Structure 1
């Protein structure tokens, strides 16, 4: 029996008079791909920021890897990685230098080997010595995801990872997400695209105007 690695109960968040989250509840099983599906402005990124300890909820509770996101933020950060909507890469550095930088910040013993292994896995070895400013959108996104895997996080948050990508680049990112799941990682994915949720997710929750309006497997929905 699988255990829940993320548990969210009655999460609420407002910005001034704008109520963004109106009592959000869901759980995510360890080792699964969970898709939070919704249109722009539904509150998806707000949920991710709260779970990643970048934003505090007004009320409600959330636990990651058994740790309360409010009270145990450091332990939560050690358990997760976050890839935002825009690739967080340094365009002046090469792809390999970006990876080495993050590996050093993570205090890994062999940053060079870590970088080379990730470049190989994400089919970026030939581009590794080039500045990221020369990369296509799909290559930048693949590099961004590879950077988020440094340190072996248990949960990978991907906030709309394929927005703005062409169809070929999107399929490439889908392939990487499926491989993460096959390796036992828990993937929390936000998306606007129903097709993306159908292709990737074991479990889908639909967020609409700050509330979960449907929640289940694809077959159930």
Structure 2
């Protein structure tokens, strides 16, 4: 059984289609990322999956349970941390966790125990009784995540969990998410940060203009957009045309030229050594040689930019 099954999910507002016939599954125990630019439909998709937004057409199943027909049961199986904190700013972290624990129908004793566990887990013990106005952005996000984990859900939804956080706090949040998965949780996260998706996600769905344009592991997506990038500088300006012809003959690819710098694509890393030998034979000296594997930045640009 999959943790989530999304089939032909669509959301329309009048004549505008915000999410257009999206289908995907999320396996138990994986981190699944929804990646896309602002306004792509990530949060709308997440809100439909979590029953916060009415589905126009299509269906969602949470651990095999239909989110519309069995809404209460499916909602009991997941925790949600949105872009904006759901915590009460006028009370302390401890009081927030106690209140939400009681709302989750824990006894007073169990609520106290669970609150202390979560304060410890998210490194909030020393600030547990301080006003939230003294909390940093990272502390607020950790508390918000702690609230969503009170009843130990097997599935956790994170909507842009590190937006607005500094690099150190983002890294701390990544470590927290990894620990949750290591303990058996399934995570679906939306993000516009390419490095975040690359660091955390086992599989990624790229969404643009409400459509699912590609899905796969980070490695699969990188391979699909092309080979390894090769860049180097021709030391002797008079030999640039000769070098361009030689590179085209060797690689069979068009190349990019900026001043004395040449850029080309290697479909196989084994193409590099023969090319360097060929350049040496005709006494073309080069410098600043770099070989770069495709990144998620390349995937993102390739799949979303210029597709309007």
Normalised to the residue count of structure 1, the TM-score between the two structures is 0.97
Q: CA deviation at 1:58?
A: 1.0
Segments of 5+ residues of structure 1 without an aligned counterpart are: none
2:115 maps to 1:92 = no
When Rg is computed on C-alpha atoms for both structures, the one with the higher figure is 2
Partner of 2:295: none
Q: CA deviation at 1:115?
A: 0.7
Partner of 1:145: 145
Say which of 74, 77, 101 aligns to 1:76: 74
Number of equivalences: 219
Partner of 1:156: 156
Cα distance in 1, alignment partners of residues 137 and 210 from structure 2: 30
2:18 maps to 1:17 = no
Q: CA deviation at 1:70?
A: 1.3
Say which of 54, 62, 75 aligns to 1:56: 54
Segments of 5+ residues of structure 2 without an aligned counterpart are: 222-308
Cα distance in 2, alignment partners of residues 201 and 184 from structure 1: 15
Partner of 1:112: 112
In 2, are the aligned partners of 1:89 and 1:132 still within 8 Å (CA)? no
Partner of 2:192: 192
Partner of 1:7: 5
Partner of 2:207: 207
Is the helix fraction higher in 1 or 2? 2
Q: CA deviation at 1:131?
A: 1.2
Cα distance in 1, alignment partners of residues 49 and 150 from structure 2: 19
Partner of 1:121: 121
Cα distance in 1, alignment partners of residues 211 and 82 from structure 2: 22
1:151-203 alpha-carbon deviations (Å, 9 max, x no partner): 11111000001111111111111111111110110101000011100000111
Say which of 28, 43, 49 aligns to 1:30: 28
Cα distance in 2, alignment partners of residues 196 and 15 from structure 1: 31
Normalised to the residue count of structure 2, the TM-score between the two structures is 0.70
Q: CA deviation at 1:105?
A: 0.6
Name the SS of the counterpart of 1:8 in structure 2.
Answer: strand
Cα distance in 1, alignment partners of residues 16 and 173 from structure 2: 34
Q: CA deviation at 1:10?
A: 1.0
Cα distance in 1, alignment partners of residues 119 and 138 from structure 2: 14
1:20-71 alpha-carbon deviations (Å, 9 max, x no partner): 0111011000111110001111111111111111112111111111111111
Name the SS of the counterpart of 2:87 in structure 1.
Answer: coil
Name the SS of the counterpart of 2:218 in structure 1.
Answer: coil
Which protein, 1 or 2, shows the higher relative CO under an 8 Å CA cutoff with sep ≥ 6?
A: 1
In 2, are the aligned partners of 1:14 and 1:21 still within 8 Å (CA)? yes
